[in-house]
Structure 1
Amino acid sequence: FGGSVGAEAPIVLTGAAIGSNIGQMFKLNYKTITLLLGCGAAAAIASIFKAPIAGLVFTLEVLMLDLTMGSIVPLLIAAVTATTVSYFLVGRDVTFAFEMIEPFALGKIHLFILLGIFCGLMSLYFTRTTMRVESRFSKIKNPFKKVAVGGVVLGVLIFLFPPLYGEGFNTLQALINGEAFSILDNSLLYTFRDNAWVILLSLALILLFKVYAMAATTGAGGIGGIFAPTLFMGGVAGYFMSKLLNHTVGSGLNESNFTLVGMAGMMAAWAIPISLPSAVTYELR
């Protein structure tokens, strides 16, 4: 219904619950049930993004399972099997289609460090704003009033900034393709879609209000995860910074590369182990 959250978290929880229920059904011990729970979570991540390594790394780092052959092999089997089934059912299309045109240049490493700092600050804003907005919603005891307030807030934000609708993966793909003007499609600023400053302003406002759209969705009772919003904000942050530097000081940055690096940087800053973002963004494309 347009909620500005992702479907990944519910799917991962469902996969983990399936694994746990299978272990309990066969009356297995606690360690084996935990491993099956991890297999379900790894399979869910792998099938969503067609990224088996990301599913494996997610489970090992986030769920902190033992790094042994007894853990890695079952997780890898579950992740690869889930990815294969996903390929059969929904095709070979990846989440983000991207081809690396410009390789990493060591002389621009300071700009990537600057992007990392920017992503760290954005993650701090993301976390604190989410907690503050959801706290406000928790004070509304009437469930109908809560849904109405959340619906109005979300509706107004999506009307003003259409990219806030849903997960936002189409917007990320447009940024990766260098089609930033498409973020103004169906918006009040459509006639200014060729103006670089209007695009930069729109990107900044989308970064600012994405958190409110996401928190309004979850605070009003919507079910969804913040994995996709984190990717979205990181990608927008990376593209915004590179386009701003290119437009003001002529840095000559590859905006598509910065979009992907921003996705990884935001995920890493958002309390996720550092190797998971690298695996996810590498396999998503």
Structure 2
Amino acid sequence: MHLKNKFDTGKFAILAEMLPPKGVNVSAMVNSASRIRNAVDAFLVPEMGNAVMRMSSLGGAMILQSKGLETIMQVNCRDRNRIALQADLLAAYGCGIINVMGVAGEDPSLGDHHQTKAVHDIDLMTLYKAIADLQTGKDLAGNELFGAPAFTVGGSVNARATGEELDQAIGRLNEKMATGVEFFIAPPVFDVSAFAAFAEKIDLAKTHVIPTVMLLKSVGMARYLDRHLNITVSQDLIKRMMRAPDKTTESLAIAVETTKAIKEAGFAGVLISAMGWEDKLQKLMDMI
């Protein structure tokens, strides 16, 4: 069942992030994805997250699609101009990639090529317009296409925002939906109540929001997320990780419990972010 069919029928979708390699050896990516192919609805392939150079999302998604795996290709405003972005979208659809997600891209100063100049020829909303135009059979310049794509389009939403920032996040979500965005990836969460204010302001039955569940690899990681990245990790959860004799198993158990809570809260699905623990995904899916 395609991802769009999951949304249309109200069934809970399970996505897994699958990072392309920094190089050309794709065996680990392909093997990790293949082992859980029957448990995952689609694999989100990031486009050089944190501005770190690696194989493109288009390349990674094409490789997984060639193995019969459904993917979500990220499209990044930072690295390409409007011509290249549209060309990649057409190439993706021609290769069987039917799900795309627009992202603005982090500043290159955060990555591993500090002298890089960001492109940002178009902003994120113009990118969504470009996707919508392509689906009507025209490019951004108004030229006719020989065959039009039909994408399921995704975006991001800050579901942990509060107060005035929450109103702004809802406003941006509505703007994206008006351009044709059909699903939204939300930030990592370990306590679904952190999204309660957001969930009260939207209709989760009609707005397909997919929170991210990140695997906690250590107590140190849990503390770093809580202190520096505005991702709430409770002291009870940190103490639970500290007491656990097998921290890997405990981390997977926390991910399973969080996934269950997300489903019970009425969200459309979950995105599993393995953070380098892709080899643990098969065990996690068995537990889920």
Q: Flag the structure with larger Rg.
A: 1
Higher relative contact order (CA 8 A, sep 6+): 1
Q: Which has the higher helix share?
A: 1
Q: Identify, as 1 or 2, the structure richer in strand.
A: 2
Same fold (TM over 0.5): no
Instruction: Give the TM-score range, shorter chain.
Output: under 0.3
Q: TM-score, normalised by structure 1?
A: 0.27
